[in-house]
C-alpha cells in the first residue's frame, strides 16, 4: 500500500475523485445490466440494502466488498469493523464521484473452518470466557452444510455477558436465527442480514446456488488451467520470498485452487485429475481464487480487507492474468479498539495504557511490585547492585591472582545468586498480588476486555454485547471513525481524525 513492493503485485488504485470516477466507469463497463438479476437470490436483500443494490445495478454503479467466514454469533469485532468500513468507503466513493455505490459483505459459508465458526469470546468482570460447541457432524463440511445444533447454553452466556442491554435487537436476532434446525452458515447469513440491511449493507451467501452458478465459468477455467495457475503462483511466491517477505498462503504442490465437495467433505482437487472435475456442480474456490471470482461476478471497485488479506492479495494477480479476469483491488479496512467506561476508569486509576496489556503477565507484576513497601524495593535493588559489584571484584581478583578456577565459575556464582534473588522477588510479588486481589481483579477485567485470552480484542471478542450495551451511538461512533478513514482513501475532504486502530471510548452510553 505504501509502494514498498513491486507495482505488479497489486492492482493500482486512484488517489483522487477524478481518477476514482474513471476507475468506476471502467469497472462498470465490464458488466451487463443483469449481474444483480442473476445474483438477487443469493443476496435476498431487503430494505435499504436492496435499495442500494438496485441503484448500483440500474444506475451504472458499482459495489465495494468485504467479507468473512462464519464466526459464532456473528464472529469477532472485526466482522463489524469490516462491514462498517465497506459502508463508509462506499458512501465516500459515491459522494466524491456521483456514481451509485453499494456496500456488499461476502459471507464465505463455503469455508470449512469449524474451529472459528464454533467459538467466540465474551468479556466479563474478572476476565474473559470462551464460548464454544462441539461439531454435531463430521469435520470437513462447508459451514453452509454443517448443522448448528443446540447453542442455547452459549447464547445464554452471551446474554449474561451483555448485562443491561439498551438495544435488544442484536440479541433478538441471534435468538431468532441461531436455532438447532439451522446450519452454521444459514444462521450466520441470516443474522448479518438482519443486522446490516437497515444500514444499507447487502450480504451475499457464497454457497447459494446463484452465486455458485455465476462463479462456475471461472471455477471451470481454473481447473482447465490448473497447472499454469500453479506455476504462476509458485513464481510469484518466489518473488515475494526474494523480496524478503513470506507468502501469506503457502503452496501445496500438486493441488489446484478448486475444491470439490463430492465426497461429502470439501477437498482440494489434484491438478492431475483437474480436467475430470471441470463439469462437476459441487466446485468452489480456495482463498486465493475467491477474490478473482468475486471480481468476475460483481462490479467491484475494490475489496476492503485486513492485514492478512492484503498480504495474500500479492499472490492473486497472476491467477487473474492466467484466467483473463480483471485483477481484484484491495484497500485496508478501518480498525479500532473499544474501551468501555469501566475499563477506562481502571486504566486511569492504575496509570496504565491499553498497549501495556499486550504482554500476558507484565501489568500484574508491575502493579504488584509497585505496591511493595518502598524500603523493600530499595533493599532489593541495593542487594542486586551489591552482588554485581562484589562479583565484579571477585572475578577481577581471581584473574589477577591466577586462582585455580576459571571466569566461568565466578560468573556461574553470579547467575546463581541473582537467580535466587529473582525468585525471592517473585515470591514477594505473588504475595502482593494475593494481598491486593481487588486490584488484580480489576486488571483481569481490563485484560479480558482489551486482550481476552491473550488475543487482540478486535480479533477475538464478539461484537454483540457491545452493540447491546451501547446501542446505536456506539455504532455511529464506529461509523464516524470508518468514514474518516474512507475519506483519506478516496482523497475526499476530512477533518483531523483518529488514527487507524486508535482506541475509541464508549463512555457516556452505559
3-state helix, strand, coil split of the chain in percent (to 5) is 55, 10, 30
Is the pLDDT at 7 greater than 80? The verdict is no
| C-alpha to C-alpha distances, 116 to 35, 68, 290, nearest whole angstrom | 32, 11, 19
Residue of 450, 455, 426 lying closest to 356 (CA atoms): 450
How far apart CA 255 and CA 268 sit, in angstroms, is 6
pLDDT recorded at residue 510: 32
pLDDT for the residue numbered 228:
95
List, edge to edge, every strand of the sheet that includes 283-285: 267-270, 255-260, 283-285
pLDDT digits (tens, 9 = 90+) for 322-370: 999 999 999 999 999 999 999 999 999 999 999 999 988 889 988 888 8
So what's the pLDDT on residue 506?
64
Q: Are 81 and 107 a contacting pair, CB within 8 Å? A: no
The answer on pLDDT for 2 being more than 70 is no
User: ∠ CA(470), CA(475), CA(480), 5° rounding?
Assistant: 135
Q: What confidence score (pLDDT) does residue 60 get?
A: 84
* Residue 291 CA from chain centroid, whole number: 17
Cβ-contact 185, 146 below 8 angstroms: yes
Greatest mean pLDDT range, 165-174, 192-201, 213-222, 357-366? 192-201
pLDDT over 70 percentage in the chain: 94
Strand partners, 147: 183
pLDDT at 261: 79
Across 33-37, 83-87, 376-380, 492-496, which has the greatest mean pLDDT?
Answer: 83-87
- The pLDDT of 495-499, averaged and rounded, is 38
Give the residue-averaged pLDDT of 289-304. Answer: 96
Q: Does residue 501 surpass a pLDDT of 70?
A: no
Query: Cα–Cα distance between 408 and 97 in angstroms, integer?
Result: 72
Cell readout for 259 is 475444491
Q: From the DSSP assignment, how many helices (H) and strands (E) are in the chain?
A: 20, 12
Non-local (6+) Cβ contacts of 310 within 8 A are: 1, 330, 332
Cell of 255: 493441488
Three-state secondary structure along 216-247? HHHHHHHHHCHHHHHHHHHHHHHHHHHCCCCC
Distance CA(65)–CA(201), nearest Å, equals 10
Cell of 10: 497489486
Which grid coordinates are listed for 55?
441503484
pLDDT category of residue 502 using cuts at 50, 70 and 90 = low
pLDDT of 509: 35
Q: Which of 35-49, 50-64, 250-264, 313-327 has the lowest mean pLDDT?
A: 250-264
Q: What angle do CA 45, 49, 53 make, to 5 degrees?
A: 85
* pLDDT for residue 494: 39
Q: How far, in Å, CA of 53 to CA of 59, rounded? A: 10
Q: What is the DSSP string of 424-448?
A: HHHHHHHHHHHHTHHHHHHHHHHHH
Q: Give every CB contact of residue 357 below 8 A, 6+ residues apart in sequence.
A: 363, 446, 447, 450, 451
Backbone angles phi, psi at 34, to 5 degrees: -105, 10
Q: Is the pLDDT of residue 497 over 50?
A: no
Confidence (pLDDT) at 505: 64
Choice among 161-165, 261-265, 373-377, 461-465 with the minimum mean pLDDT: 261-265
Q: What SS3 string covers 273-312?
A: HHHHHCCCCCEEECCCCHHHHHHHHCCEEEEEECHHHHHH
Q: Over 80: is that where the pLDDT of 277 sits?
A: no
**Is the confidence at residue 1, as pLDDT, over 60?**
no
Under 8 Å between Cβ of 291 and 257: no
The sign of the CA dihedral 20, 26, 27, 29 is positive
Per DSSP, helices labelled H in 350-498 are: 362-370, 374-400, 407-435, 437-450, 464-490
Q: What's the chain's average pLDDT? A: 90
Query: pLDDT tens across 224-246, in order?
Result: 999 999 999 999 999 999 999 99
Q: Which of 203-207, 427-431, 450-454 has the lowest mean pLDDT?
A: 427-431
Amino acid at each position: 500500500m505504501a509502494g514498498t513492493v513491486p507495482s505488479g503485485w497489486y492492482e493500482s488504485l486512484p488517489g483522487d475523485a477524478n481518477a476514482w470516477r474513471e476507475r468506476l466507469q471502467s469497472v462498470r463497463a465490464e458488466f451487463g445490466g443483469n449481474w444483480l438479476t442473476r445474483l438477487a437470490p443469493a443476496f435476498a436483500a431487503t430494505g435499504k440494502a436492496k435499495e442500494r443494490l438496485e441503484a448500483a445495478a440500474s444506475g451504472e454503479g458499482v459495489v465495494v466488498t468485504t467479507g468473512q467466514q462464519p464466526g459464532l454469533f456473528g464472529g469477532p469485532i472485526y466482522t463489524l469493523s469490516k462491514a462498517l468500513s465497506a459502508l463508509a468507503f462506499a458512501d465516500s466513493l459515491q459522494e466524491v464521484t456521483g456514481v451509485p455505490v453499494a456496500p456488499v459483505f461476502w459471507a464465505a459459508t463455503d469455508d470449512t473452518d469449524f474451529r472459528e465458526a464454533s467459538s467466540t469470546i465474551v468479556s466479563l468482570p474478572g476476565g474473559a470466557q470462551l464460548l464454544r460447541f462441539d461439531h454435531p457432524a463430521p469435520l470437513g463440511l462447508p459451514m453452509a452444510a454443517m448443522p448448528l445444533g443446540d447453542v442455547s447454553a452459549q447464547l445464554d452466556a452471551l446474554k449474561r455477558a451483555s448485562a443491561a442491554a439498551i438495544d435488544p435487537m442484536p440479541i433478538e436476532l441471534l435468538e431468532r436465527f441461531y436455532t438447532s434446525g439451522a446450519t452454521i452458515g444459514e444462521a450466520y447469513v441470516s443474522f448479518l442480514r438482519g443486522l446490516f440491511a437497515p444500514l444499507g449493507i447487502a450480504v451475499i451467501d457464497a454457497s447459494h446456488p446463484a452465486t455458485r452458478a455465476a462463479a462456475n465459468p471461472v471455477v471451470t477455467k481454473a481447473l482447465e488451467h490448473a497447472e499454469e495457475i500453479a506455476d504462476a503462483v509458485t513464481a510469484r511466491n518466489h518473488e515475494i520470498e526474494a523480496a524478503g517477505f513470506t507468502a501469506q498462503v503457502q503452496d501445496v504442490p500438486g493441488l489446484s485452487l478448486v475444491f470439490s465437495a463430492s465426497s461429502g467433505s470439501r477437498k482440494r482437487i489434484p491438478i492431475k485429475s483437474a480436467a475430470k472435475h471441470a463439469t462437476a456442480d459441487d466446485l468452489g474456490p480456495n482463498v486465493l481464487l475467491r477474490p478473482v471470482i468475486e471480481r468476475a461476478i460483481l462490479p467491484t471497485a475494490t475489496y476492503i480487507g485486513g492485514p492478512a488479506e492484503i498480504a495474500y492479495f500479492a499472490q492473486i494477480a497472476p491467477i487473474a492474468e492466467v484466467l483473463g479476469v480483471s485483477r481484484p483491488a484491495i484497500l485496508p479496512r478501518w480498525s479500532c479498539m473499544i474501551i468501555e467506561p469501566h475499563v477506562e476508569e481502571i486504566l486511569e486509576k492504575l496509570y496504565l495504557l491499553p498497549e501495556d496489556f499486550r504482554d500476558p503477565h507484565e501489568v500484574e507484576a508491575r502493579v504488584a511490585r509497585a505496591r511493595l513497601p518502598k524500603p523493600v524495593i530499595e533493599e532489593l535493588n541495593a542487594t542486586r547492585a551489591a552482588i554485581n559489584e562484589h562479583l565484579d571484584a571477585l572475578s577481577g581478583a581471581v584473574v589477577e591472582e591466577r586462582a585455580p578456577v576459571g571466569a566461568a565459575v565466578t560468573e556461574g556464582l553470579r547467575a546463581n545468586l541473582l537467580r535466587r534473588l529473582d525468585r525471592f522477588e517473585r515470591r514477594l510479588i505473588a504475595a502482593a498480588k494475593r494481598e491486593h486481589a481487588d486490584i488484580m481483579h480489576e486488571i483481569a477485567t481490563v485484560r479480558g476486555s482489551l486482550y481476552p485470552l491473550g488475543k487482540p480484542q478486535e480479533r477475538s471478542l464478539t461484537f454483540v454485547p457491545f452493540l447491546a450495551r451501547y446501542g446505536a451511538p456506539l455504532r455511529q461512533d464506529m461509523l464516524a471513525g470508518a468514514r474518516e478513514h474512507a475519506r483519506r482513501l478516496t482523497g475526499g475532504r476530512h477533518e483531523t481524525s483518529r488514527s487507524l486502530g486508535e482506541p475509541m471510548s464508549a463512555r457516556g452510553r452505559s
